[in-house]
Amino acid sequence: MSAAVQAPLRWDLFCQVIDNYGDIGVCWRLAAELGARGHAVRLWIDDASALAWMAPQGAAGVQVLPWPAQAPPDGPGDVVVEAFGCEIAPDFIAAIARHTSADGKKPLWINLEYLSAEGYVERCHRLPSPLMSGPGAGLTRWFFYPGFTPRTGGLLRERDLATRQAAFDRQAWRTGRGIAPRDLAVSLFCYEPPALPLLLEQLHTRSDARLLVTPGRATAAVLHEISLKPLWNKRKQLLVSYLEPCPQPAFDEMLWACDLNLVRGEDSLVRALWAGQPFVWQIYPQHDAAHHAKLLAFLDWLQAPASLRRFHALWNGLETAPALPQLDAATLAEWHACVMAARTRLLAQADLLTLLLGFVTEKS
């Protein structure tokens, strides 16, 4: 049975929110797309508060439930997905071990891993992890790795994404926000990038720059830097818009409309790739600097030109310099060609959910 004609399944998707919105952003997109393809999803989450603005209308087929201490009375679903290494309760694991469906099948247990372009992803994708002890003794948990190559689990991509993008009126979006056709519109979704002062300094030297700052840490970081530079306020060259939280489709549209997107984490990186506009990625910083190798592996896969690699290195603190590469028309055109080429490669590959459904069919 292929994924295209697969009978609807019941899914239990587990998500723990750490300290940002990437985990819940990825899990919600996955849950909503499963629902759109006719499956029933229970999204078990320890903090669903962000969904009030991220997905205020909910999604067909998706039920959001608080993190469980034990399995529900009707038992686990056909597929159990632990996202990003979150650990489900022992009682729920025990329920997986003892549950058998009417057709004699056991639930399929999958660990959906973090996204990376590093070489280990291809080696570890689809590997089994047998449990030798504990309430799940005898079960097998399978690793499923998202990725950028055909030998990985692919990237999340809604089936209607191309239709939505084709119908999007980019100029009307910009006009409605006072952005002129020749303005440089820059979206900022970041943590606290070391080179943020350099970006603001460069944009303040222009008369055509519009900075759209997402709420939370990005807004706090920009306000802090501006407070340290009173001359910036006197020049009033740079127009800054501090945005309100918005649903995921509206965030996507902002990326489609801007000339440069500064994104962070996993979910917005994927959305920036689908947007096809120049972007710079702030990778989630780790204390042991493991994120450096992860960033460089991504830039290698992206086939990033020297100026884009340099901007990433400064933006993420791998290097220091008195200024960032200039965001002139030639540079942005080069970055745009790079991103579009990468996007074309990705569109030629199957998306994550299609591959995941195929894997489920294979193992069931």
Distance of CA 17 to the CA centre of its chain: 14
Pairing of strands 260-264, 279-282: parallel
| Locus of tokens 């973090």 | 114
**364 to 34, 322, 350, 357: CA distances (angstroms):** 17, 56, 20, 10
Whether residue 174 contacts residue 182, with contact meaning beta carbons closer than 8 Å, is answered with no
130/22 Cα distance (integer angstroms): 28
- Which is the catalytic residue, given 12, 158, 266, 351? 266
> Is 23 tagged catalytic?
yes
| Locus of tokens 């939280």 | 245
Question: Would you call 269 helix, strand, or coil by DSSP?
Answer: helix
- Which is the catalytic residue, given 12, 23, 33, 113? 23
Could you give the count of Cα atoms lying within 13 Å of 286 in the half-sphere of its Cβ? 10
The secondary structure of 293-339 as a DSSP string is HHHHHHHHHHT--HHHHHHHHHHTTSS--SSPPP--HHHHHHHHHHH
- Counting Cβ atoms within 10 Å, is residue 323 exposed (0-12), middle (13-18) or buried (19+)? exposed
Could you give the count of Cα atoms lying within 13 Å of 296 in the half-sphere of its Cβ? 8
Whether residue 160 contacts residue 33, with contact meaning beta carbons closer than 8 Å, is answered with no
Residues 6+ apart with CB under 8 A from 239: 209, 210, 211
Residue 340 CB: number of other CB atoms within 10 A?
A: 13
267/275 Cα distance (integer angstroms): 12
Local structure of residue 84 (DSSP, 8 states): T
Could you give the residue numbers annotated as active site?
A: 23, 266
